[in-house]
Amino acid sequence: MSKKIVTVEVTRYYSKTGTVEIEVDTTLVGEELVDYLTNDEDIDNMFEKAIGDTSLVGENTTYEWQDPTDSNGGTL
């Protein structure tokens, strides 16, 4: 009985989610609010701490296989 090599690539995606509550002036709206939230160094540090304090969560796992002998493959 002859044998061949088939490869299977396994990929798992992970994510982290953190929540930060930020008190802002009521006059900050629209683009001004977006600019404040994206450009303030202290807020960025809060975001990084929130992400750093959470655990990785396994999300989706994909299995892709290839049979080069028969030029075939797909997803399991």
Q: Which helix (H) or strand (E) holds 71?
A: none
DSSP secondary structure letters along 20-69:
------TT--HHHHHHHHHH-HHHHHHHHHHHHTS--EEEEEEEEEEETT
Cα distance between residue 50 and residue 69, in whole Å: 49
The tokens of 32 are what? 């001004």
pLDDT at 43: 96
Note whether residue 22 is domain-resident: yes
The tokens of 7 are what? 């490869």
pLDDT at 37: 96
pLDDT tens sequence for the chain (76 residues): 899 999 999 999 999 999 999 999 999 999 999 999 999 999 999 999 999 999 999 988 999 999 989 899 999 9
Expressed as residue numbers, the domain containing 69 is 7-75
pLDDT at 14: 94
pTM above 0.75, yes or no: no
Question: What is the tally of structural domains in the chain?
Answer: 1
pLDDT at 39: 96
